[in-house]
Amino acid sequence: MGTILDALTFKFLTKLGQVIENEVVMTLSVNKDIKRLKNNLEHFSAIREDAEALAMEDKRIEAWWKNMSNVMFDIDVIIDLVMVHSQKLLLPPRSVCCNQSMISCFGKLSFDHRVARRIKDINEKLDEIKMNTEMFTLDRTTRQQFQVTIVDRRQTSPVDELEVVGTEIKQAGEDMVQMIVSSCRENRSSVFGIQGMGGIGKTTLAQKIYNEPLVREKFQVRIWLCISQSYTETGLIKQAIRMAGEKCDQLETKTELLPLLVDSIKGKSVLLVLDDVWKSDVWIDLFLSPFKRALNFHVLVTTRDLDVLAEMHATYTHQVNTMNYHDGLELLMKKSFQPYEQISEFKNVGYEIVKKCDGLPLAIKVVAGVLSTKRTTAEWKSIRDSKWSIHGLPKELGGPLYLSYSSLPPQLKECFLWCALLPPNFEIHRDSVAYWWVAEGLVRKEHGFSIHEIAEEYYLELVRRNLLQPVPEYVDKAVSTMHDLLRSLGQYLTKDHSLCMNVERIDAMSNLRRLGISHAVEEIPTLEEHKCLRSLLLFNNKNFKSMHKDIFRKLEHIRVLVLSGTSIKDIPDSVGNLVLLRLLDLSYTEINKLPESIGSLISLEYLSLLGCRQLDSLPAGLMRLSNISFLHLEQTSIDHVPKGIAKFQQLYNLRGVFESGTGFRLDELRCLPNIQRLWVSKLEEAMPGSELVLKNSRNLKELGLRCTMKMGTHDRTRYEHDKVWKIQQVYDMLVPSPSLEYIFLVGFPGTMFPEWLRSKPELNMPSLRQMHLDECISCSELPPAGQMPQLQFLKIKGADAIESIGEELLGKEAGSPAAIFPKLEVLQVIRMFSLRSWSLNTGNPSDSSQHISLMPCLKRLLLLDCPKLRALPRDMSNIVNLKRIHIEGAHKLQEVVDLPAVTWLKVKNNTRLRTISNLCKLQDLLAQDCPALDQAKNLCSLRRLYMVDCPHEQEFRKCLSEEQGVLVHVATVGADGRNIFPDESLYN
């Protein structure tokens, strides 16, 4: 698919063409040098596609590759410096004086001289590099260019990282569960081990054991710790305390934390999982002593080293073997195809590919990611016959892992490698990483899509190829992690210019371009000497407390600066020197002000101040930054947003803005044509106007509208009548664009929803996919959401005034469409404390003859904390695809009946629930804290029954047919509300 250098060459030639055509640049003396640079670079459009692989096999070519990579970084810097300088020359002077033109002239000459020298150096280096003719294939006639990969989310199969393929690993899991449970019954403390090579499935097996219902039942506390090679003791202790259910935010030292850990587990049965242990010290020196204070403890350890388990005196060790070829083929096909696709013709070549993966599950998965893009047996054979072994790569990183990387398009290669910069076990958020890639210049603009949309598709493509592993709790795959072996591969391939620092020093790296510093680093290195840095990322490192005042005079090439979760309180004025800085993330820091010099960050596109609770104002200079596309102001103490946001014509994502006296006004939103995501807060302080402020926001996809609202059950915020009337007028101004896909109303105090939501919303918002109505405490009637043609997700939460749900939700004209809620998949009704009745009857007697379809796509229903609701809607039996229902805190509900499609039901803390009947397809029933539940009827498909703290469980079980063979997993007393059921994410 071409090398990264191929992609960079294409990008730089495009940018150089734009630079040469720039009218301001044409006046500079460096224009001639830039043209020569462009001509010089064109020579590299013929770089061999296998240059990267050759560099690993040949030391001489490796030196060539390293030099070329450094030159490419330098070219990127020089192009951006020229463009930024041209923008500066177009800016109006901040002050006028008689010598202004002379100063500008000298500034231009100085810049010309410095840039000319650097371009000359680059051209000389390129001349030297071109001498190695072996790296070029000039007779190549085709070049593969990468186009944005639009992932069809409807065709992307759900990801279940706890899936287990193969009888051997399933049996091993069951055997170890029985050993652990038996040991717990006998009140013995034990250490159990799982040993095997990287990527072989140790963590998958440990997760299966950890989530088994029998294990959940036996242990009052379960703690899972991921142990990296460079863990910090305080970080691990904090995580253990949190997983034991306690808080430790204010404690920092080991001396303070250990007593709290002891208190959290003392006298309790505890399961501790230590995942990926490299040295036994973490148990022997750190956790053994405090865990002896537990009633009994059991430790499950995964490791690559048998010696570790011997030193920890493991009573049993399971060695994970490679997959047999039959199971490997099953996994390969499962990851390469959709369930409905015909795959028989691929099995023979698939079997041969599995053999080349040596039975390693991770290898099979990533190769399946490559094969999922191929749809002919000829293409599969081409993968089978391609070069798998790369000399020079560490053995565990070669073969299938490198194949999966080398098969990526060039832009995706860059994005994958960038993720290897992040700390071990780091949760990669789709929205954040998309902005990081854009700021680094890794995303190529394509016609018809915003650059941020393209970046999000890059992310989803890496997920689809199994190079990023989605966190199961997020059904939209918005959060993922990177397997440690894939991360190691990325770090090896970028070892000459990028580093994720855990505890190792960085003194030896002379051309360091990207540096990530994890929370594990206790001593922050001196950064000033690394003048080539373009990305500096610190995540949740409380040891980072201050910066030298002149640091940014040295690090002038920084593009991405992330200081999230650090203890920094002040940003030096020298930050204004970072004219190339595009992304500045100060979220959850302790800063109390921003320097005025931030107004000099001419390239800044992204600024996050989320959670900066000490920050109470914004500098006036911020309003000069015309390139801002993302601004996040939520959860701060800012009480005044300056005027001028209307000048930010590139704004794509604006969160937490609000009206404030003489500052920002809602009517400024009329001037933001590119806004796609918008959250407006403190709307109780806004003043109503006569114009519709969002009428020009034709691309708006997400809208959040929030009033300040206390969330306590008995402490709701109530506004005076006059203020409520004013707030409703403000909301009426905020008529969204028809392009809207997500709407969030949080804390709306009006008695009626805005006109645009309660009257024909299907015409006002025909593209709406999600509707969240949170804490709309005074509205007595819900909007007619049933008429919305694209709505997939609906949440109604905390609507205190609603006593009944009926035809108003379905729509006033519910008899006219062919379906009610035609695409709704998830419905959540939460904290509806006054709700007494719920009907799905349209009120139109002719509906039955017209064959109106009721919620034909609904799959999941969550009913939580509705204590007065007496019954589920009778018409719910007509919902043909409703598979999963979770009912909790419905204390008046006495029966769950007549739901023919439901396969999974969870009922918890429902004090009067007595009967579950006529659920003929129900396979899994999870019941907890239902003291009256004693009757079952017509549950003929039930296969698994979980009952916890249900005193009549024996009477209930007697109602079931003995021929069914129902597997009863749990029947216990004393869970104290703990959820010991399997993770709900396992059920798709």
Three-class SS string for 645-697? HHHCCCCCEEEEECCCCCCCCHHHHHHCCCCCEEEECCHHHCCCCCCCCCCCC
The burial class, CB within 10 Å (0-12 / 13-18 / 19+), for 230 is middle
Question: Quick one: 472 and 345 in the same domain?
Answer: yes
Whole-angstrom CA distances from 366 to 347, 363, 405 are 17, 5, 9
Is 200 found in the same domain as 172?
yes
Q: Of 499-503, 793-797, 931-935, which gets the smallest average pLDDT?
A: 499-503
Binned at pLDDT 50, 70 and 90, residue 294 comes out as confident
* Token pair 């944005």: residue: 148
Q: Is residue 544 part of a domain?
A: no
In a 10 Å sphere around its CB, with 0-12 CB exposed, 13-18 middle and 19+ buried, how is residue 713 labelled? Answer: exposed
Q: Looking at the domain assignment, is residue 844 inside a domain?
A: no
273 or 334: which leads in pLDDT: 273
Structural domain including 430 reads 325-494
Residue 803 has pLDDT above 90, yes or no: yes
Cα separation, 231 vs 18, in Å, equals 47
Identify the domain boundary among 494, 514, 537: 494
Residue 3: pLDDT band by 50, 70, 90 thresholds? Answer: low
Do the domain assignments include residue 590? no
Per-residue model confidence (pLDDT) at position 813 = 58
365, 401: one domain: yes
**Is residue 51 situated within a structural domain?**
yes
Same domain? For 309 and 353 the reply is no
The least confident of 295-304, 322-331, 467-476 is: 467-476
Helices (H), 672-792: 721-733, 755-758, 761-764
Mean pLDDT over each residue of the chain, to the nearest integer: 82
Residues 175 and 196: their CA atoms lie apart, in Å, by 17
Fill in the DSSP letter of residue 392: T
Region 475-495: mean pLDDT is: 85
Question: Is 314 domain-assigned?
Answer: yes
In a domain, 673, yes or no: no
DSSP H or E segment with residue 793? strand 793-797
The reply to whether 249 and 113 lie within a common domain is no
**Domain co-membership, 406 together with 489:** yes
**Domain boundary residue, one of 472, 494, 516:** 494
Question: Is residue 345 domain-shared with residue 308, that is, in the same domain?
Answer: no
- What confidence score (pLDDT) does residue 861 get? 94
DSSP letter for 295, please.
S
Indicate if the pLDDT at residue 107 is higher than 60. Answer: no
The structure's pTM equals: 0.79
Same domain, residue pair 190 and 304: yes
For residue 695, is it within any domain? no
Q: Which residues face 796 on adjacent strands?
A: 773, 829
Compute the Cα dihedral for 474, 476, 478, 484 and give only its sign: positive
Is 895 part of any domain?
no
Instruction: Tell me whether residue 155 is exposed, middle or buried, using C-beta atoms within 10 angstroms of its C-beta: 0 to 12, 13 to 18, 19 or more.
Output: exposed
Structure-token match 């006109």, residue found? 755
Q: How many domains in the chain?
A: 3
Give residue 24's pLDDT band: very low, low, confident or very high (50, 70, 90): low
* Residue 485 clears pLDDT 50, i.e. is over it: yes
Sign of CA dihedral 482, 488, 493, 495: positive
**Tokens 């021929």, located at residue:** 963
Round to whole Å and give the CA distance between 682 and 120.
55
Q: How many residues does the chain have?
A: 988
Shared-domain flag, residues 329 and 447: yes
d(CA 988, CA 984): 8
Considering the domain architecture, whether residues 25 and 5 belong to the same structural domain is answered as yes
Please answer whether residues 73 and 513 qualify as being in contact, where contact means their C-beta atoms are separated by less than 8 angstroms.
yes
Contact 239, 225 (CB under 8 A): yes
Q: Tell me the two tokens of residue 712.
A: 């306590």
For residues 270 and 348, state if they share a domain.
no
With beta carbons less than 8 A apart as the criterion, state whether 160 and 988 touch. yes
> Number of helices (H) and strands (E), helices first, in the chain?
28, 35
pLDDT band for position 446 (50/70/90)? confident
The b-or-e profile of 921-946 (16+ CB within 10 A means b, else e) is ebbbbbbbbbeebbbbebbeebebbb
d(CA 121, CA 125): 6
Looking at 494, 512, 529, the residue that finishes a domain is 494
* 421, 535 Cβ separation under 8 angstroms: yes
What average pLDDT score do residues 35-64 get? 74
Output the domain CATH number for residue 183: 3.40.50.300
Same domain, 121 and 30: yes
How far apart (Å, rounded) are the C-alpha atoms in residues 469 and 481? 5
The SS3 assignment for 257 reads helix
